[in-house]
Amino acid sequence: MIEDFKKELEKLISEVREKLKQIRSYRFALHWLENVMIETYGKKFDLKSLASITQIDLLKYKIEPWDPNIISDIERDLKKTNFGGSIIKEKNSLLVTFPPLTEETKRELLKNLNQLKEDYRIRSRKIRDDFLKEIKIKKENKTISEDQFYKTKEKIDKEIEEFNKKIEELFKEKEKEILQ
């Protein structure tokens, strides 16, 4: 029983990790850049499958397509994203510069980050409550003993406590990343 509960919480943690990767910080640029979809050869590809991406400094990247003939496609689709930075075309590469985070942007990101953290805590409590209802019904139907019920409830509480610690660590790490 408790294994299903743990799996649900692990799914949430994986989801949180993916969400946090998408939130801008000084590290945001590379992750975002690699995953920009480029339309070329009649299909869409993520940028990392079409070019090598080299970090020059914190906010500047060099993109060198393996096929120099698609450099215009890459430039066009990067401009379509309105990422707020600049693109400079060189002979066989592009220099992409991301704007630095302003204090106002950082405050807004932190506010959104706290809201996201609270949303995931609410979702975990809902999972816990649903699971507790389920075991309570089993106790009332006498498919589990009262002793099993309380032991399982105790395990659930410990798992939620661990989940909250992990979530807090992940969010503190991201917060630190944003504030750099």
Here the CATH number for the domain that contains residue 63 is: 3.30.1360.40
Identify whether residues 40 and 18 lie together within a single domain. Answer: no
Identify whether residues 89 and 123 lie together within a single domain. Answer: no
- Model pLDDT for residues 142-158, shown as the tens digit of each residue: 999 999 999 999 999 99
Identify whether residues 174 and 157 lie together within a single domain. Answer: yes
What is the predicted pLDDT for the residue at 64? 97
Q: Over pLDDT 90: what percentage of the chain?
A: 68
Structure token digits, residue 115: 């809201």
Whether 28 shows a pLDDT value over 70: the answer reads no
Least confident span in 16-25, 88-97, 98-107, 112-121: 16-25
What is the predicted pLDDT for the residue at 26? 61
CA 96 to chain centre: 22
Q: How many domains does the chain have?
A: 2
Here the CATH number for the domain that contains residue 127 is: 1.10.132.20
Whether 29 shows a pLDDT value over 70: the answer reads no
Identify whether residues 93 and 129 lie together within a single domain. Answer: no
What is the predicted pLDDT for the residue at 135? 93
Identify whether residues 148 and 119 lie together within a single domain. Answer: yes
How many CB atoms lie under 10 A from the CB of residue 7?
Answer: 10
Full domain range(s) for residue 58: 28-97
Alpha-carbon distance 9 to 149, whole Å? 20
- Model pLDDT for residues 78-87, shown as the tens digit of each residue: 999 877 789 9
Identify whether residues 18 and 49 lie together within a single domain. Answer: no
What is the predicted pLDDT for the residue at 27? 60
Q: Of 59, 80, 97, which residue constitutes the final position of a domain?
A: 97
Whether 91 shows a pLDDT value over 80: the answer reads yes
Element (H, E) at 141: none
What is the predicted pLDDT for the residue at 92? 93
Q: Of 63, 97, 131, which residue constitutes the final position of a domain?
A: 97
Q: What does the pLDDT average to over 17-36?
A: 77
- 138's CB contacts (< 8 A; 6+ apart) are 144, 149
Q: What does the pLDDT average to over 36-63?
A: 93
- Between 27 and 178, the more confident residue is 178
Q: Of 97, 127, 145, which residue constitutes the final position of a domain?
A: 97
- 87's CB contacts (< 8 A; 6+ apart) are 75, 78, 79, 94, 95, 96, 97
